[in-house]
Every structure is written in structure tokens, then in C-alpha cells.
Amino acid sequence: MKRFAIIPLVVAGSLVLQSQSVSAQAKKKPAVKPAAAKPATAKKATGGGIKVDGTFKMIKGVSYKIVRDVPGKNAEIGGGLEFNLIAKCDTLVLGDSRTQNGGKPVTAPVQAVDQTAQFQSVFPMLSAGDSVLMSISCDTILSTVPAEQRSQLPPWLKSGNRVSIYLSVVSVKSKEDMEKEAEKAKAAQEAAAKEAQANALKQVETDDKILQDYFKKNNIKATKTASGLYYKINEEGKGPKVTNGMTVSMNYTGKLLDGTPFDSNVDPSFNHKEPFKFPVGGHQVIAGWDEGIALFNKGTKATLYIISPLAYGARGAGPKIGPNSVLIFDVEVVDIVTEK
């Protein structure tokens, strides 16, 4: 019943590559690169990475070398840069913008960078058509990571390694162009949201008819809420009432409408028998769970009949839960772990 998360591509430590609309402003490219850049200390990268030598410059912990320098307008602070990028540690690919963005370049803001080891520090040096090699020491990246978080780092992010970044600039966009793109994207998002909402309303009616037929066929009497959720209390709990903000401990089995189980923490075949804990109303589970569990007391055993807009909707979830699937959950509120 957990939500799926869309996770951005982490290139290295705090290096995050993502498509986004930003304001941009172009300027005439100077004949000489900004004086802030200084020669990097010559040393070799680990394994198959970029070899950093005296031809590289250094800015805020990033060694860089512009290998193709096309005359034109530089990216400017407050502007935007459209580019393709591949990031590697030795031969391990950490990120590939073409692969992760449907073959299209990504657009990122050009901002003043205060932190160390951010590849965005190089953006103001670049114009359309430029290509740049960058190398960042993992030791430099590690110096920016708090000690308590280091146990959670990926295996490649260790002392002695280096991150190699290959970036080619597609375009430098003006502030006006970026504002238009942002407005266009916002309009598209609003239109998509309206369409999704309309489709969800239609699906509520469809799913309700499916459940009504199911209840009639199986002689089930369930209670309907305003949202379209149905529930049936099989055993009333004698403990305190669950309310939003409480963390509860649950047992559950999830099934499709045909009875096929897709997840359970009481069925040993699913290999996770520990109680499931979550904060009610915290949007960490599907909406049908957030609403349904808040209807019960501690100790209650019940069945939730969840229409697809309150579950995984048109996207489905993995190979077992298809698009617009109505779900059934047999649940037990084992305990209230923490109160709000």
C-alpha cells in the first residue's frame, strides 16, 4: 500500500540532475574565461575516468576543461542552460541525461553556487555548442557530507575515487524564453490535472458499480464513505480511536477483486511478517488507507474496499496491480505506537 516515489537522478552526493523550467538571461561571451577560475593541481583520475592535468582549471572543488569553445553568449546567473550530460565513477555510469530524459536534453538553472563540489559552478563559463569535461574528487564530495550520513552513501562514493562528468551545451536560453516555457509548462500541468481529475471522477462511478455488483454477488454489507471508500468491520476493537497524526502498527493482506493476493505481512509466502507501521494521515500510504484506518479503534479487524482513485489509479503498481484496479485489504489495527 506504500506510495511509489519519483526519485531524481543523483549524480554525486548533492549533484542532482533534473529537468526544470527556470529564468535565463544571455550575455556576450568574453574572449577570456572569468578570472575566478584557476589552474588545477595535476593528478590522474581513478581507473577509466578523466585524467586531470595542468590544462584543467579549478572552481569550487570542480576541475574542468572546456574542450570545445564556441563563440556566443555565456550562460548567466539567473539564467538557464540546456545540455546533455553523462556522469561516471571509473566505468560505472552514475547518470545519463539522454537515457533518463527520453533522449532529450535537460534544462537547469544557472545560479550562484556557494557549496563545494557542485558541477553547476561551471555553468557561467559556457555558451551554446560548448563541451566541457569535469572531474570532482570523492574526497571533496565527502567533505561536504555530515558524518552521521556517511553510512548511507553508495559504495562508489569513497576516498580516492573521482567523478567524471561529460557535458555538452545545447543552448543558452534567454530570460524571456524561460518565462514562456515556464508558463507553457504550468498551463500543460494544469490541463493535465483537470483531465486527470475528470477521469478520476468517471472512474469513481465505474468502480462503484463494480463494487456494488461484487457486494451483491457475495452478499456483503459494507459502509460507504463520501469519498467512495467502502469498509466492513469484522471485529470491533476495544482500544482508543485512531485519528490523524497517530502512528499505528498494522497487519494486512491485500487482494485483487478476484481474490488474488498481491501483498501481506501475515502470509509467510510474502517474506515480511513484521507489523507495518505508518503515520495516519501522513500521505505515506494510499489515500484509501489514510482514510480507512482513521475509521477504526485499536484492535479492530476490518475489510477495506478501495476504489482505484483512492489506490494506485490509472498508473497501477508493479506487475500485479494493473491500471484502475479496485483493491481489497483485510486489516487489523494491532497497536497505536505513538499518539499525535
Residues catalogued as catalytic: 252, 262-263, 286, 312, 329
Q: Which domains does the chain have, with CATH numbers?
A: 9-173 (3.10.50.40), 203-338 (3.10.50.40)
Residue with more model confidence, 36 or 235? 235
pTM: 0.55
The string of pLDDT tens digits covering residues 7-33 is 223 333 333 333 332 222 233 333 333
> What does the alpha-carbon distance between residue 46 and residue 164 come to, in Å, rounded to a whole number?
10
Q: Determine the pLDDT at residue 177.
A: 83
The string of pLDDT tens digits covering residues 200-237 is 899 999 999 999 999 999 999 999 999 999 999 999 99
pLDDT at position 280 over 90 = yes
Q: From the DSSP assignment, how many helices (H) and strands (E) are in the chain? A: 4, 19
What are the C-alpha distances in Å from 224 to residues 229, 232, 288? 6, 9, 12
Q: Determine the pLDDT at residue 265.
A: 95
> What does the alpha-carbon distance between residue 29 and residue 27 come to, in Å, rounded to a whole number?
6
Q: Determine the pLDDT at residue 120.
A: 95
> What does the alpha-carbon distance between residue 11 and residue 88 come to, in Å, rounded to a whole number?
8
Q: Determine the pLDDT at residue 180.
A: 87
What single-letter DSSP state applies at residue 2? Answer: B
Q: Determine the pLDDT at residue 49.
A: 78
Residue 228 contacts residue 287 (beta carbons within 8 Å):
no
The string of pLDDT tens digits covering residues 229-277 is 999 999 999 999 999 999 999 999 999 999 999 999 999 999 988 999 9
Residue 50 contacts residue 164 (beta carbons within 8 Å):
yes
Residue 227 contacts residue 310 (beta carbons within 8 Å):
yes
Q: Determine the pLDDT at residue 15.
A: 39
The string of pLDDT tens digits covering residues 115-152 is 999 999 999 999 999 999 999 999 999 999 998 888 88
> What's the pLDDT band for 340 if we cut at 50, 70, 90?
low
